[in-house]
Structures are given as C-alpha cells and as structure tokens.
Amino acid sequence: MSPTLPSGLIMFDLTGKIALVTGAGGGLGKQMALALAGAGADMVLVDRVPALLEQAVGEVVQLGRQCLTVVADLGQVAESARMVQETLGRFGALHIAVNAAGVNIRKPALEFTEQDWDYILGVNLKGVFFCCQAEGRAMLQQRWGRIINISSLSSEAGLLRRAPYAASKAGVTGMTRVFAAEWAAHNVNVNCIGPGHMLTPMTAKMFADPDVSARVVGHIPGGRLGLPADLAGAVVYLASDASAYVTGQTIYVDGGYLINPV
C-alpha cells in the first residue's frame, strides 16, 4: 500500500517537530538551524562556544520557535548522549538531527601529525558516529526520524592539503549508508549533504587570497562560491515528509563543481 503523504508545500512543513543541530553557533550549522526553524521546527542548538550559541538563539526566537541550547564538545563521546538526553528532557522527542559540527586543518599530507589526525577524525568521524548512535536510539523508539550528516567534496575529489579531513568525510558518507540500511524499516532516514566550496568563517582566510578564489570559482559552473544559506533547501527537504522515500543518499550542493571535468 502506498503511503499517504501531504501534498504541495505542506510536505515541507516542520511544525511540531524537534530539530537538533550540532555546530549551530556559526557557519553552515547556524544557517541550517535557521532554515529548519523557518520551516516550523523547534530547535536544539549545540556548540562548544557559548557566546556563539547566544547569538544564534536570538535569531531562532525571532522566528517564533522554542529553543534549547547545549554547550558540548562532541569530540567527547559522552557529550553525544548528554545532548540527546537534554533534548528529550526538554521536549520529550527528537525528530530531526543535523550533525554539522566539524573541524579541519590544511597542510601537506607529509606534515600531518598523529595529534592532527586524532583531532580531526575524533570530531568529524568518531564524533558524528556517536551522535548518530545517540540520536538513532531516540528516533527508533518513536519510529520516525531524519538524520542529516555533513559530507564534503573531499569525499569525492582529491582536494589538496586536507588528507585527514577527506578521510573523515569519506567515512561519514560510508557510515551514513550503513545507518540508513539498518534503520530504514523503522522510518528513520539517514542522509548526507555535501556542501561545495562555501564561504564561511572557516574558509574566509583561504578565499581572501584572490588567486585562490579565482581558481576555485573558475572550476564551478555556477560561477560563484557557495554561501551557508544555499544549504537551506536541501536541509529542509531531507528533514521533511518530502523525502520520505530517500535514505542513504548524499546531495551535493556545490554549484556543479563535481560535474565539471576541467
């Protein structure tokens, strides 16, 4: 029997849903959180920097949504379970989770240390795994959930000076497929968004170099760098009933970067 779904824009309505976003204090995480709040979700904002969370809360509240903040370092496994417990304690449910917290170090592959590797993989891969695990436990009990992980162009293309980051994001893509396969029968969908070259606080210094910026933009058919707001449509889609039959996928929001062979 085919499922009965709402029609039109109602499919994207997140009213009544509780959405958690890690790395929500700035950059991609903050903009995705605002997109979900704008679609009607009440929010849980997670970040390790309290001052950034305070500003983000104000913007969510202006959209008329309830908001809980959790200060957490997701490089520590216990913090993943704690953020979900605090969410359930406040709202009684967790419907949507966007795991956007991430770190990066750029330098030649030969210069990375074991400490660098452990730091990047600890947050970007190990941290995301245990976030998914904690979020999934809550969603499996209620038999409805949407988990959205953040992959990267680095999982598909050999971008220079970011070998551990590329390894971490390729790992996120792979484990997302496994979670999706294991949880699909319970109506818990797990997908990735792969942002393209985005202008964020993390990349601002790199793209301030006009030669670097021109070289990257020259490879993007869309003719510009991405902005965090460009992810709004993809995150709302993957969080909503519109994507009910979509799981284990990666949607690249990259202006066409990966399809340009030049």
Measure the CA–CA gap between 69 and 222, rounded to whole angstroms.
36
Active site annotation includes 257: no
Options 165, 237, 252, 257, the catalytic residue: 165
Q: What helix, strand, coil percent values describe the chain, rounded to 5?
A: 50, 15, 35
- CA torsion 184-253-11-97 (nearest 10°) is 50
Measure the CA–CA gap between 47 and 69, rounded to whole angstroms.
8
- Please name the amino acid found at residue 2: S
Structure tokens at 152: 């990267």
- Cβ–Cβ < 8 Å for 181, 249: no
Measure the CA–CA gap between 181 and 6, rounded to whole angstroms.
25
Distances in Å between the alpha carbon of 154 and those of 72, 185, 246? 26, 30, 23
Residues 6+ apart with CB under 8 A from 86: 44, 68, 70
Instruction: Look at residues 242, 94, 247 and name the one whose alpha carbon lies nearest to residue 180.
Output: 247
Instruction: Look at residues 249, 243, 97 and name the one whose alpha carbon lies nearest to residue 181.
Output: 249
Q: Return the DSSP state at 143.
A: T
Q: What positions carry a catalytic annotation?
A: 165
